[in-house]
Amino acid sequence: MSATSDIREIVEKNNSMLCIGLDLDQKRLPTDYASTVRGWYDFAVAIIEATKDIVAAYKPNLAFFEERGAEGFSLLEKIIEKIPDEIVVIADGKRGDIGNTAGHYATAAFDRLRADWVTINPYMGYDSIRPFLDHKGKGAFILCLTSNPGSRDFQLLHVLNKPVYMYVAEKVAYWNKEQNLGLVVGATHAEQLAEIRKVARDMPILIPGVGAQGGNLEKAAICGTDDFKHPALINVSRTVIYASQGNDFAEAARAEVEKLNAVINELRSKDSKD
């Protein structure tokens, strides 16, 4: 199976396009879990146990773990071990360096952390992406049009009457020979998301920016899949894992995921009837 077919399979099995971002911020964790590494671990595992049957993926943001040094990296390894094998794990590090260095980043993500996908910055071109593609059954989401305000600084610039993000989408679609590449497109750019989906064809799109960043869930689901014809993962982080500051955080997270799934699946149901 390809990395893309793994995404399709879990989306169908769990009837969910949602990816939960595991952005463990000490300032946001419930008080009883915030001060120790053990508390962070228990919090993350509780979130996973409460949602693992109703999501398609988890996306740990590596920066939140790397800032804790060796104990943070060890914590990340242990958290990933608690994620069921069939659930997609995306190591969100936004790597992007020369080929030799990229090879070490790929080994760290896929062999050491046992992630299924990584996020990559394409600025340095194909040779910085290629080492990630040498790992069979693994995939790479390439930053195309991000959800942050600064995306306009470079990604929205026009070069020869075409925005830079479209060059990225076209190149990645061309490179996707083994069905192991995808794109990252922010939900805050719904119109462009629909445009990129046409170029992406059957590549999966990872869609951040719903919730705290202001992206619209319904538009993200429809535009990101071309009315549910193609695979996409919609990332939700803070609105889910910090749905409650009390010790009922896991139950609150599940309730939030169920609510989001219901919105998407109602759209899918309407689309199938049309």
Which sequence positions are flagged as catalytic?
94
Would you tell me how many other CB atoms lie within 10 Å of the CB of residue 107? 15
Query: What is the DSSP track for 14-45?
Result: HT--EEEEE---TTTS-HHHHSSHHHHHHHHH
Four-residue CA torsion sign, 82, 84, 87, 90: positive
Local structure of residue 192 (DSSP, 8 states): H
Query: Which of 107, 115, 96, 86 has the alpha carbon at shortest distance from 14?
Result: 86
Between strands 232-236 and 18-22, the pairing is parallel
Please tell me the number of Cα atoms within 13 Å of 140 on its side-chain side: 32
Q: Determine the longest span between alpha carbons in the chain, in angstroms.
A: 55
Task: Please list the alpha-helical segments (H only) found in the chain.
Answer: 3-14, 31-34, 37-51, 62-66, 70-81, 99-107, 130-133, 151-154, 164-175, 190-200, 217-225, 238-241, 249-273
- Cα 50 from Cα 43, distance rounded (Å): 11
Q: What are residue 139's DSSP bridge partners?
A: 117
What separation in angstroms does the CA of 182 have from each of 83, 139, 228?
Answer: 22, 8, 16
Query: Which of 273, 274, 271, 239 has the alpha carbon at shortest distance from 258?
Result: 239
